[in-house]
Amino acid sequence: MLIRTIVTILFFFLTLASFVSVNSYDINDEEKTYEIEVKGAVKNPGVYEVKKGETIEDVLMEAILLDDADTSSLNLTRSLYPYQVIVVGQIAEEKKISINSATIEELDTLTGIGKATAEKIIEYRERNGGFSYLEEIMEVSGIKEKTYAKIKDKISL
């Protein structure tokens, strides 16, 4: 009698478990859509409705990346999941160093410019009332064409 009761209870739970697992699987699961949000360096930020299996790259094509968008931290092949938020960063523009107002410490960060040369730059600008054009920095002792070529994109007046 006890064995019969245990077998009946066991049968009941096994039947219930198989019923729940079969019914929890939706045959049309592939056709379901859900929402994700796209922010940052995109032309069309906002909430997008996507289908299961779509990737980050798919939704970014709809959102349209801006020219300064930086996707290097995103895995474009990754599948989207419900309520995901995608933040597209921007390429940081390097701040230029003003040769007419920079400190010794700031000038010293430039490739090929040490503390001694930085002091010469400051002496030159004080003596001549500042620099009128970028190439003028080559008139400072110790700065020639090679050094200028290394720093020209990192300096301003």
Q: For residue 100, what are its two tokens?
A: 């007419």
* Helix ranges restricted to H, 29-98: 56-63
Domain end (from 90, 119, 135): 90
| pLDDT score of 12 | 54
CA atoms of 85 and 16, how far apart (whole Å) = 37
Residues in the chain, total: 157
Residue 136 maps to which CATH number? 1.10.150.320
Per-residue CA distances from 142 to 27, 130, 139 (Å): 75, 18, 9
Residue 59 maps to which CATH number? 3.10.20.600
73 in any annotated domain: yes
Domain end (from 73, 90, 107): 90
Q: Which residues contact 155 (CB under 8 A, 6 or more apart)?
A: 96, 97, 98, 99, 110, 134, 137
Residue type, position 43, single letter: K
101 and 152 in a common domain: yes
Q: Which residues contact 140 (CB under 8 A, 6 or more apart)?
A: 117, 120, 121, 124
pLDDT range class, residue 23, cuts 50, 70, 90:
very low
% of the chain exceeding 90 in pLDDT? 29
Domain residues for the domain of 51 are 31-90
Residue 62, pLDDT above cutoff 90: yes
CA atoms of 53 and 34, how far apart (whole Å) = 11
6 in any annotated domain: no
pLDDT tens digits for 90-112? 987 778 888 888 888 988 888 88
0.85 exceeded by the pTM?
A: no
14 in any annotated domain: no
Give me the number of domains the chain comprises: 2
| pLDDT score of 4 | 62
24 in any annotated domain: no
| pLDDT score of 15 | 56
The residue-averaged pLDDT of 37-58 equals 94
101 and 150 in a common domain: yes
pLDDT range class, residue 5, cuts 50, 70, 90:
low
82 and 119 in a common domain: no
107 and 86 in a common domain: no
23 in any annotated domain: no
Three-class secondary structure of residue 57 per DSSP: helix
39 and 85 in a common domain: yes
Domain end (from 71, 90, 109): 90
The residue-averaged pLDDT of 126-130 equals 88
81 and 105 in a common domain: no
